Structure 1
Amino acid sequence: MEWNYQGDRGPDNWKTICSAFYQAETESLQSPIALDDNQTNLTSSQHSLRFDYNRTLFESSFFNHTVHLSPKTNEKVNFVTFNHKKYFLEDLHFHLPSEHEINQESFPLEFHLVHRSVKNDLLVVGVTVLPSERPMNTVLAVIDEKALHPRIAERGLTVPIELKRLLPEKKQFYHYTGSLTTPPTSGPVEWIVFRHQTYMRQGLLQAFKRNVGKTNRPLQPRSGRPIYLSDC
């Protein structure tokens, strides 16, 4: 079903487009949400999180209104272990501006690393991004600006990425249970959102704005669910 980020098929009306979208939005707690240090249920290290990431070739595509990068290899070499359960990386994509709000602040961009367990459970890692003329800790700079154009991304360009360098230097993270942020916005999805930001060079960020545009779902109600703040 066709949906959009503006107009009569925008986020406020997603659940009216079809019964599957309605069911997904009404039967699960929704994402994104506002994350705030002062509203977390617990600040501790009780949630164990480990990243096993390797340098990997990704292939570009353009769908659901944004650029996606998928691992070219079928081998499950990139995974997250959260609370002793493995989730394997299957997709990297981008939202502008950020979907999550952190301590009352929005950011120019947020990217999502989508993982799936062998039992088909989902875990998404969210990383918010700040612009910098001299990015300190990002490999997003390897993405050629031309690759962000929808028609070029659709050609399946190959991009090498050192995945560990995508993550912020400070690994403190929020954890909560929510949903996907694009239709059907089904859940449950385990969300890991880093409290601190990584960096993207200004030129690449501008290219995202020109070629991708606004692709963020508005904040959803917290609905009383617990939110945790932990150290990696």
Structure 2
Amino acid sequence: MSTLRKPLNPEHFIMNLVNTFSSALLLAASITAVSADEHPVWTYTGEHGPAHWSAVDHGFAACEIGRHESPINIENAKPAPPKYPRLAVSYKTLPLDILNTGHAIQFQAQASDSKILLGKGEYQLQQFHFHSPGEERFGGKSSDMDAHFVHKNSKGQLAVLAVQFNIGMHPNRELQKLLEQIPAEPGKEQKMDNVRIDPTALLPRKRGYYTYDGSLTTPPCSEGVTWIEFKQAVEISQDQLEAMQNYYRGNQRPVQPLNGRVVYEVK
């Protein structure tokens, strides 16, 4: 025996549809929020650019409220006191792992004895990466490209050597080796076991520099980083600059205020 169904109220049908749609939206939003928390997305432009880094993730708060941030505009530096810790570079030829991070090309040092000394403090080379234009400004001007050599000591403290690159008549041989190995796909890692690199060949011959207390120039913008800014630039070719810019162009954080910090010059 069949029973007659009660006709569906149109208003109830619409309300059920709205509730179902709303639930789907909330679920999608929650999934998106989890993904964003696990992998915070930041960029160099737009709504996730430098002016908004602190809003992308709560761990990026220093990008907005930090008082010793980098990069800076270097001018009116003071001579370093005689007892100020001086730099000594001790790099060895080494193999690298190359990573296209999605923000820069990063060359990660495999186990090696490459290090720097700041006075009696020893820092091991961890990785180096490139920005174009260069992030540091000297009298308000940027270089065509720079490299940041990141080092860490036994206490976890960081020291960064910044090298500027400008277009000249001749290519840099060591940079060319790197360019020939870069993976095109972001996130892909590639080992350079068969190609050995001498990082010293990417440094200027004259080692005068500026130094100051700063931060990482990318999120989370952590402070307490010792910066060494070489004054002399290294020459690269137009082709080499364009090859690097094929991966990233404009990955440069705006200049940050000094907030009373002193920049020292070491000749």
Fold equivalence (TM over 0.5): yes
Match of 2:145 in 1: 109
For structure 2, the 5+ residue unaligned runs are: 1-39
Match of 2:114 in 1: 78
In structure 2, how many angstroms separate the alpha carbons of the residues matched to 1:138 and 1:174? 26
The Cα shift of 1:105 comes to 2.1
For structure 1, the 5+ residue unaligned runs are: none
Match of 1:32 in 2: 71
The answer on 1:69 being equivalent to 2:107 is yes
The Cα shift of 1:157 comes to 4.2
Alignment match of 1:150 (pick from 180, 184, 188)? 184
Aligned with 2:232: secondary structure? coil
CA contact (8 A) 2:149 2:162 kept: yes
Match of 1:48 in 2: 86
CA contact (8 A) 1:53 1:163 kept: yes
Alignment match of 1:57 (pick from 86, 90, 95)? 95
- Farther-moved stretch of structure 1 (194-203 vs 18-27): 18-27
- Farther-moved stretch of structure 1 (196-205 vs 115-124): 196-205
In structure 2, how many angstroms separate the alpha carbons of the residues matched to 1:79 and 1:123? 11
Match of 2:212 in 1: 176
In structure 2, how many angstroms separate the alpha carbons of the residues matched to 1:153 and 1:69? 13
Query: Bigger relative contact order, structure 1 or 2, given CA contacts below 8 A and separation 6+?
Result: 1
TM-score norm. by structure 2 comes to 0.79
User: 1:192 is aligned with what amino acid?
Assistant: I
User: 1:186 is aligned with what amino acid?
Assistant: S
Q: How many residues align?
A: 225
CA deviation profile, 1:18-58 (whole Å, cap 9, x unmatched): 2211145424410000012xx11225653311001011111
**RMSD of aligned alpha carbons:** 1.9
In structure 1, how many angstroms separate the alpha carbons of the residues matched to 2:231 and 2:159? 17
CA contact (8 A) 2:101 2:186 kept: no
Percent of aligned positions that are identical: 28
Instruction: Answer with 1 or 2: which has the greater Rg.
Output: 2
CA deviation profile, 1:90-131 (whole Å, cap 9, x unmatched): 011011101001133211101100000000000011011011
- Judging by fraction of residues, say which structure has more helix: 2
